[in-house]
Amino acid sequence: MNLVVDVGNTRVKAAVFNQKKIKKIFVFKKNRILSEVKKILSEFKIEASVICSVSSLSSKKKEKLKVLLDFLEVTSRTKVQFNNLYATPNTLGVDRIALVSASINKFPNKNVLIIDAGTCITYDFISSNKDYLGGAISPGIEMRFKSLHHFTSKLPLLSAKNLDHFTGNSTPTSINSGVINGVLQEIEGVINQYRSEFLDLTVVLTGGDTNFLSKQLKSSIFANQNFLLEGLNEILILTKTND
């Protein structure tokens, strides 16, 4: 079985795969990564592992983790199944590399736009010829709420709520409309931009805000919160095959 681990800023999302099927998903705080990995290893017989964004761990924890796992660390130099045409390939986030790897295997020979709605909202486009062209990065929902509160003296800090109407009739509903309607219109607009050029476009929505946004988007999409984990597993399988 394979163990894939995605290390975020404050939390870790991990999954155990039996070939390409997820057996179990784990979510825990980053400061508990060593103890949680030990639990996973006691529960499953792990044959190979891969970690994404390991650079966000302290060097001390990284070394201790290496004692527990002989893991593959995803970098810009990791072998992938697509042509990376990004102008600055060394700066391409490893999370975006994993997402594109998932799309290659999930939707082969398709034009795919991947939207990852998390701390930031990232857009990644991969052509049917397996050419990764790039995309866009914008602030995520929580970041937008925090920026309105931080950079003003009177606006309160709010959290996301479903949009009842795009016209807010109070300060809280106006903020919610500005953030949520702004994000929805942005996503719909970006999808329409790509669809005007690529008529057979497949759109994937993933990330922490997937469930919240997917219910409110009008465009036809594939919603998959585990897309990044699946991409990491595909990278691991490719690496094992080539060894």
User: What is the CATH code of the structural domain delimited by 83-226?
Assistant: 3.30.420.40
- To the query of whether residue 209 is one of the catalytic residues in this protein, the response is no
Q: Is 179 exposed, middle or buried (0-12, 13-18, 19+ CB in 10 A)?
A: buried
Point out the catalytic residue in the list 95, 124, 131, 209.
95
- Per-residue pLDDT reduced to its tens digit, 197-243: 998 999 999 998 999 999 899 888 999 999 999 999 999 999 877 76
Is 7 labelled a binding residue? yes
Any binding-site annotation on 93?
A: yes
* 6 labeled part of a ligand binding site: yes
Domain ranges of the chain: 2-73, 83-226
Q: What is the pLDDT of residues 176-203, one digit of tens each?
A: 999 999 999 999 999 999 999 998 999 9
> Following DSSP, what letter does each residue of the chain receive, concatenated?
-EEEEEE-SSEEEEEEEETTEEEEEEEEEGGGHHHHHHHHHHHS---EEEEESGGGS-HHHHHHHHHH--EEEP-TTS--SSEE--SSGGGS-HHHHHHHHHHHHHSTTSEEEEEEESSEEEEEEE-TTSEEEEEEEEE-HHHHHHHHHHTSSSPPP------S-SS-SSHHHHHHIIIIIHHHHHHHHHHHHHHHH-TTEEEEEESTTHHHHHTT--S--EE-TTHHHHHHHHHHHHHHHH-
For the domain made up of 2-73, give the CATH fold: Nucleotidyltransferase; domain 5 (3.30.420)
Closest C-alpha to 75, from 85, 89, 65: 89
The pLDDT tens digits of the residues spanning 25-77 come to: 999 998 899 999 999 999 999 999 999 986 678 888 888 999 999 899 998 88
The DSSP line for 146-160 is: HHHHHTSSSPPP---
* Residue 96 in marked binding region: yes
Copy the structure tokens of residue 135: 């995309």
195 is in an annotated binding site: no
Distance set, CA 131 to CA 85, 128, 134, 172, 192 (Å):
7, 7, 9, 43, 20
The answer to whether 2-73 and 83-226 have equal CATH topology is yes
pLDDT recorded at residue 165: 87
